[in-house]
Structures are given as C-alpha cells and as structure tokens.
Amino acid sequence: MAPNLFEKINTLISANLHSLVDRALENNSVQVMDEYVRQVERNLDMLEDSAATVGGTVKTLKRKYEEFAAAAEKLDRDIDTLVVKGKMDLAAAAQAELNTKQQLSQEYYEQWQNQDGQYQKMLDMRVKLEGRLTMIKQEREHLRSLIELAEAKKVVTKTVKSLDALSNVGDEQVSNLSDQIRQRLDEEDARLEMATRNISEEIDDAVRGGEIERQLEERRRRLLNASGGGSGEAASS
C-alpha cells in the first residue's frame, strides 16, 4: 500500500469525532461531516483495491513456498536413498539442488509472511474505517436533528460552538440530545482503542505461534531423518 494512502487512512481513523461534531455545530451545518464521509468513502475504495492486490500476492507467494518446500522435502528423502545405495556422485548433485530449493523456499516463506502481515493490517484498517464511516453517518443525522431543534428553540448563537456548550443551554430536550451524541462518540472512541489493542495482541500471538510451529516442524523432521539414518546403518551392518 502506498505510504501516502496509509497516512491518509490513519488520519481518517484517528480523527477526533468530538472536534468534527463541534465544527459542524459551530457552522450550524453538517457539511463538514459530509466532507469527512466523502473522504472516507474515497480512501476506502482505494484501500480495498490495494488489499485485493496484496491478497493476490500473498496467495501466490504461499503457493510458491509450498511448491519449493514440498520439492525440497522429496529431494531430501531421495538423497538418503542415494547415500544408502552408495551413489555419492548423484547424492552430491542432489544435495546441491536441495540447498538451492531450501534457500528459495525460505525466501518465499519470508516474503509470504511479510506480505501477509501487510494484508492483515490492511483488512484491519478497512474494518476500522468502515466502523468510523457507519458511526459518522449515524451521528450526522442525530446532529442534523439537534441543529434543527436548537434553531427552532433559538438557542444556536455564535457563542454556542460545541456539544459541551449546548448541553448547558438550559433546554432539557436540546441538552439531552447533545449529551446522547457526546456519549456515543465517547463509546466509539473506546471501541476503536480496544479494537486496536486487541488486533495488536492477536498479531503478536499469531507471529509467536507461527514461529513455534516452525521450530517444532524442524525438530520433527530432524528426528525423523535421524531415525531413518539409524535404521539404514543397522541394515547395512
């Protein structure tokens, strides 16, 4: 994903919704919220296009890794057979080929893991951005109703420029509506903070889990190879 798109999306996700609502209230118009919605929708489209491209690359890299890993595993077994039969020249050539395939397999694995990390991050950003979009669309309607109500009651003046100010105008209906909007914005901020923390923890757990699985798989193969080697020596004696 292009760095500038990444930065734009991060800016949109981390936008202060309270400030956005207060600016709309100060201007006595929801146009500032409409502009935010347009920016989110444009960047969401670009994010989905980029995510589709990266997702395709992830699948390709995973397939290539699996192909080379499978070929290397088969070649490793063939080398054992050649060594047992005493065909050392063929075994040496096969070993050289195995080294190449293992190196390529490792390179594809690292690229796959790197791209998959980026892909998962993009999917996470899409979820957050969609959540922000849904939230601001809902609050746009609530704020529009609040502005209309306040205007009808003649409490919107140049000195009323925020939800905090509106909640103290003395009119119970207006105050209640402004408090409800402010509470929902607080809840949305809390949800975003919690989601960000949870996603980070899940990514860390997945990375650690993948490393452990890789280490165990290497240990399993080494033990199997050692067992096979011992059997071969016993048979030859």
pTM for this prediction? 0.61
The angle that helices 17-26 and 172-236 make with each other, rounded to 10 degrees, is: 150
Cα–Cα distance between 223 and 227 in angstroms, integer?
6
Q: What is the mean pLDDT of the chain?
A: 77
Rounded Cα distance between 143 and 156, Å, is: 13
Query: Which residue type sits at 45?
Result: D
Can you list the alpha helix ranges (DSSP code H) found in 85-171? 88-152, 163-166
**Identity of the residue numbered 175:** S
Q: How far, in Å, CA of 65 to CA of 125, rounded?
A: 27
Question: Which residue in 119, 169, 115, 128 sits closest to 147, CA to CA?
Answer: 169
197 by DSSP, 3-state: which?
Answer: helix
Three-state DSSP class for residue 85: coil
234 vs 43, more confident: 43
pLDDT confidence of residue 172: 64
The mean pLDDT of 84-100, rounded to a whole number, is 89
| pLDDT score for 224 | 76
Give the list of residues 6+ apart from residue 19 with CB closer than 8 angstroms, or none: none
Among the residue ranges 90-94, 122-126, 135-139, 173-177, the one predicted with the least confidence is: 173-177
- Phi/psi region, residue 28 (left: phi>0; alpha: psi -120 to 50; beta: rest), is left
What is the rounded CA–CA span in Å between residue 140 and residue 134?
A: 10
Percent residues over pLDDT 90 in the chain: 22
SS3 167: coil
Nearest to 130 by CA among 21, 26, 44: 44
Locus of tokens 């889990």: 209
- Using an 8 Å Cβ cutoff, are 126 and 48 in contact? yes
pLDDT in tens, 127-160: 888 888 888 888 888 778 777 776 666 554 444 5
Could you tell me which of 37, 51, 64 has the C-alpha nearest to residue 5? 51
78 vs 182: which has the higher pLDDT: 78
Would you state the structure tokens that stand for residue 40, as one six-digit string?
Answer: 């989110």
Asked whether 137 and 169 are in contact (CB, 8 A), the reply is no
Phi first, then psi, for residue 19 (nearest 5°) are -65, -40
Task: Assign 237 a pLDDT band (cuts: 50, 70, 90).
Answer: very low
